[in-house]
Amino acid sequence: MRAMVVRDPGAPDHLRLEEVPMPPLRSNDVRIRVEACGVCFHDVVTRNGVMRRGVRMPLIPGHEVSGIVESVGPAVRHFKPGDRVCTAQRRHICGACRFCRSGRETSCDEREFLGDADLNGGYAEYVCVGDDNVVHVPEGVALDEAAIVSCAIGTELNAIRDVAQVRPGDRVLISGAGGGLGVHGLQLARGSGAYVYAVTTSPDKAERLRALGAHEVIICARGEDFSPMIRESTRGEGVDVVIDNVGSVLFEPTRKSLGMGGRWIFVGQLTGDFVRLNPAQLFMRDISIKSVKSTSRNQLQDSLELVKQGLVKPVISDVLPLEHAAIAHAAVESGQSFGRMLLKPGLSV
């Protein structure tokens, strides 16, 4: 099969089209003919070497997959060839630990992130995924849209609904608002009844962010302190919740934007940089820091239902053939893309 392979860390041109063997089908696996795969910043930091935990090269990147079931392993009961499906971000979970049994499989000790190791990721014609990490795509949801639901929508649903527990009237700041996570986070926050601040480095994205539901758009250069604008807008009180899709680059302005009792939810980290922190800057204002790292199957199914009902609109900025993965990576890494970009193995160059 054709696939985009990374054999050693580096620039986007380290993504190379190769002919590789079909991924082996394990007992609980579903083999999927890939219709579309989203391009996430996680793919970028895996490719360029910033992400090292759990990464084994050579690898085929990609964890946002939709497609048609081609075949199933002998232990699979709920999927059959021809089914329309999409995946969670994982290739495997144990299904039996205390996390898996309580809907928290994102913390399973055996979890394998899809596309982080070996030649079995979504930038390919076929991918094999454990059946615990596959769901049916409901009628009325296009496969292109379904590809990005787990990561770009489900992770933000996890952060906004389940971890931050955003309530009507909360003031919510979404950083990296023009990216694949941010554009869906602001829709979810707005749908939760929050007053939404969208932070972006791109003036060109401002009107589109307002159209998606942002009440106010804060435009700032990368690393610029935007907290004075937040403080002015909130009459000095700060925001109740930050959905942090950027990480250490915006650590200080984000901290200074939070109000008393603020909830700071880490979702993304775009660089390998560390931060310095005086804990008193947090506990004197009763600020809590939590994080999310992916999407459970229940959250994925809830996100698909939101898309089916038209309550969240998947934002896809461009659709490219598989061979143009390096172009997509360059656009995502530079911040030029709005929402998600898709790779499609069946699309002609």
User: Cα-Cα-Cα-Cα dihedral of 239, 313, 132, 93, to 10°?
Assistant: -40
Q: What is the pLDDT of residues 122-148, one digit of tens each?
A: 999 999 999 999 999 999 999 999 999
2-148+314-344 with 154-291: one CATH topology?
yes
Q: Is the pLDDT of residue 165 over 90?
A: yes
Name the residue type at position 182.
Answer: G
> Rounded CA gap, 316 and 143, in Å?
12
HSE value, Cβ hemisphere, 13 Å, CA-based, for 54: 16
Per-residue pLDDT reduced to its tens digit, 11-57: 999 999 999 999 999 999 999 999 999 999 999 999 999 888 889 99
Work out the percent of the chain whose per-residue pLDDT is above 70: 99
Average pLDDT, the chain: 94
pTM of the prediction? 0.92
Q: Per-residue pLDDT for 270 more than 80?
A: no
Domain 2-148+314-344: which CATH number of 3.40.47.10, 3.40.30.10, 3.30.565.10, 3.90.180.10:
3.90.180.10
pLDDT for the residue numbered 292: 93
* CATH T-level fold of 154-291: Quinone Oxidoreductase; Chain A, domain 1 (3.90.180)
Per-residue CA distances from 323 to 12, 15, 42, 128, 344 (Å): 12, 9, 19, 20, 9
pLDDT value of residue 169: 96
pLDDT more than 90, % of the chain = 84
- Give me the mean pLDDT over the 313-333 stretch: 95
Q: Which of 93, 36, 45 is nearest to 68 (CA)?
A: 36
Which pLDDT score, from 0 to 100, does residue 29 have?
A: 97
Instruction: Give the domain ranges of the chain.
Output: 2-148+314-344, 154-291
